[in-house]
């Protein structure tokens, strides 16, 4: 009798596996047919821009722009299909077919989303990877450019420099960041204190997060004039070399210097040179839009100091980031507690500090007002290599976020979308009410969150374009 039950179970399991396989293959074929029928330009075959899980290039394409290894573990939900469009019709087909087969979409340009929302999902989904949309057209005479969303900032800057050494674009300093995500999240960079990026939908996608409203194919942007020569300052100090004192002075002058001068500071835990103990190294960097000879009188307007340009963190590791924004400088006792907190853990960290002026005429700042009237923002980053260390590092970052509560902006505690943090709150299965989403939405956008919800309701009432922190519909 036991033998018979075993045989029956075996047959049932075999039939289930076979049925599942056939069903899966049928869905794959049907989805591919849907893409084919909705793609107007047939110069590319389906296999050139649609990858199913069983194709050889699937894994390499998926992993190519994963910047945070925390989302490459076995528990991460992978996309059913990866679509790498070459034209608008491929994107339109992807949206139509994903909706028809009850799948969400994720949109990836550079893959730098801190919480991986451009390439992972809690729901069944299709990944639209914009890697093939990198065309850049520069028109110096008209002082503008067309740039497709899959291009990186580095590629964009290079193309501008090929045409002129007196024009630029006020975006970020990391060359591998995708243009699409950077602009739609309200990105900033080294010349934004002097220049910045500025009808409802177009307002919403410049800082409100483009993925809440659709897929942005390309951007027409205005170039800004820059001097033919710029000046960079470099220096790094440890605590033993007076870094804390220098940082206290620096935080008081950064927002008072002329807008031609960009200031930045980063801290990290390092080994002390004289012993085996840990210390904190503070690296200062500065970019001045002008020649070195003109900088000395500019810097003396506040307090002459030296600053340092540090390199980008390009290596891949598991990481977690969070952020704070401050209206007032840290006092001396605050810095002691702050550095003690960092030294209490033997981990790699990165502190990214930014000063800015309040200039309310910018389109970027109209969308993300959380940065107005703040003298600087701090970004924290902890990285690790072993998957089993994930939870302890996440707990530490959350405790640090709580520790900083007395020093930061309140009602709400401000945040910046391009430093995305799901600990601030998340939509459940991509859907949530306005009240629930306000927990995180007001932190990113303050009162502009209500306007973003209104735009979302008008342009995507079914809430198809959604993720764990997308703009909701009421």
The token pair at 234 is 């470099």
Q: How far is the C-alpha of 413 from the C-alpha of 432, rounded, in Å? A: 21
More confident residue, 240 or 351: 240
Nearest to 469 by CA among 67, 27, 439, 359: 439
461 pLDDT band, cuts 50/70/90, is very high
Element (H, E) at 21: helix 2-38
Choose the weakest-confidence range: 14-18, 111-115, 279-283, 455-459.
14-18
Angle between helices 448-459 and 434-445 (to 10 degrees): 120
Identify the structural domains of the chain with CATH numbers, from first to last: 26-132 (3.30.43.10), 136-226+422-459 (3.30.465.10), 231-411 (3.40.462.20)
Give the pLDDT of residue 30.
93
403 pLDDT band, cuts 50/70/90, is confident
More confident residue, 2 or 257: 257
Number of other residues whose CB lies within 10 A of the CB of residue 181:
26
* Residues 61-110: tens digit of each pLDDT: 999 999 888 888 888 899 999 999 999 999 999 999 999 999 999 999 99
More confident residue, 206 or 199: 206
Whether residue 8 has pLDDT greater than 70: no
The beta strands (E) that lie in 169-288 are given as 218-222, 224-225, 231-238, 261-271, 278-288
Residues in the chain: 474
More confident residue, 144 or 385: 144
Average pLDDT of span 280-294? 82
Number of other residues whose CB lies within 10 A of the CB of residue 122:
14
Give the pLDDT of residue 213.
92
Average pLDDT of span 311-332? 65
Active-site residue 401, yes or no?
A: no
What is each CA distance from 171 to 122, 161, 175, 179, 364, in whole angstroms?
Answer: 31, 14, 10, 9, 11
What torsion, rounded to 10 degrees, do the Cα atoms 181, 182, 186, 189 define? 170
306 pLDDT band, cuts 50/70/90, is very low
Q: Which of 15-29, 187-201, 351-365, 392-406 has the highest mean pLDDT?
A: 392-406
Element (H, E) at 145: strand 144-148
Coil, strand or helix at 304: coil
Give the pLDDT of residue 75.
82
Whether residue 435 has pLDDT greater than 60: yes
Above pLDDT 90, what percent of the chain? 36
Whether residue 398 has pLDDT greater than 80: yes
16 pLDDT band, cuts 50/70/90, is very low
Collect all residues with Cβ–Cβ distance below 8 Å to 33 and sequence separation of at least 6: none
Q: Which of 288, 376, 416, 419 is catalytic?
A: 419
DSSP state letter for 203: H
320 pLDDT band, cuts 50/70/90, is confident
- The b-or-e profile of 420-456 (16+ CB within 10 A means b, else e) is bbeebbbbeebebeeeebbebbbbbbbebbebbbebb
């Amino acid at each position: 009798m036991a033998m018979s039950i075993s045989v029956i179970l075996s047959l049932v399991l075999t039939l289930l596996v076979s049925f599942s396989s056939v069903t899966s293959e049928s869905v794959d074929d049907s989805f591919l047919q849907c893409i084919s029928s909705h793609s107007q330009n047939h110069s590319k075959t389906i296999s050139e821009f649609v990858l199913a899980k069983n194709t050889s290039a699937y894994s390499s394409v998926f992993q190519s722009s994963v910047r945070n290894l925390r989302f490459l573990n076995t528990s991460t939900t992978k996309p059913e299909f990866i679509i790498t469009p070459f034209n608008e019709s491929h994107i339109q087909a992807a949206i139509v077919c994903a909706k028809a087969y009850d799948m969400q979409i994720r949109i990836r340009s550079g893959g730098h989303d801190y919480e991986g929302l451009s390439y992972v999902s809690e729901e069944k989904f299709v990944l639209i990877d914009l890697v093939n949309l990198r065309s850049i057209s520069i028109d110096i005479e008209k002082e503008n450019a067309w740039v497709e969303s899959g291009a990186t900032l580095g590629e964009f800057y290079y193309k501008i420099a090929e045409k002129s050494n007196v024009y630029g674009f006020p975006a970020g300093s990391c060359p591998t960041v995708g243009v699409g995500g950077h602009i739609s999240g309200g990105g900033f960079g080294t010349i934004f204190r002097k220049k910045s990026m500025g009808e409802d939908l177009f307002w919403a996608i410049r800082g409100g997060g483009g993925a809440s409203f659709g897929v942005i194919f390309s951007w027409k942007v205005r170039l800004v004039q820059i001097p033919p020569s710029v000046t960079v300052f470099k220096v790094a100090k440890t605590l033993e070399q007076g870094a804390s004192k220098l940082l206290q002075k620096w935080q008081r002058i950064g927002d008072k210097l002329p807008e031609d001068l960009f200031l930045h500071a980063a801290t990290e835990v390092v080994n002390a040179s004289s012993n085996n103990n840990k210390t904190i190294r503070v690296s200062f960097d500065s970019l001045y839009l002008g020649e070195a000879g003109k900088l000395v009188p500019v810097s003396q307007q506040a307090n002459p100091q030296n600053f340092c340009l540090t390199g980008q963190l390009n290596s891949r590791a598991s990481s977690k980031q969070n952020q704070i924004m401050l209206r007032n400088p840290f006092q001396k006792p605050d810095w002691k507690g702050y550095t003690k907190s960092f030294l209490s853990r033997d981990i790699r960290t990165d502190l990214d500090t930014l000063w800015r002026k309040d200039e309310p005429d910018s389109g970027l700042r109209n969308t993300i007002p959380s940065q107005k009237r703040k003298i600087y923002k701090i970004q924290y980053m902890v990285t690790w290599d072993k998957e089993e260390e994930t939870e302890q590092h996440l707990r530490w970052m959350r405790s640090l976020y709580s520790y900083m509560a007395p020093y930061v902006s309140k009602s709400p505690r401000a945040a910046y979308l391009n430093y995305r943090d799901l600990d601030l709150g998340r939509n459940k299965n991509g859907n949530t009410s306005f009240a629930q989403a306000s927990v995180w939405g007001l932190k990113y956008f303050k009162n502009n969150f209500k306007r973003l919800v209104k735009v979302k309701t008008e342009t995507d009432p079914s809430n198809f374009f959604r993720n764990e922190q997308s703009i909701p519909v009421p």
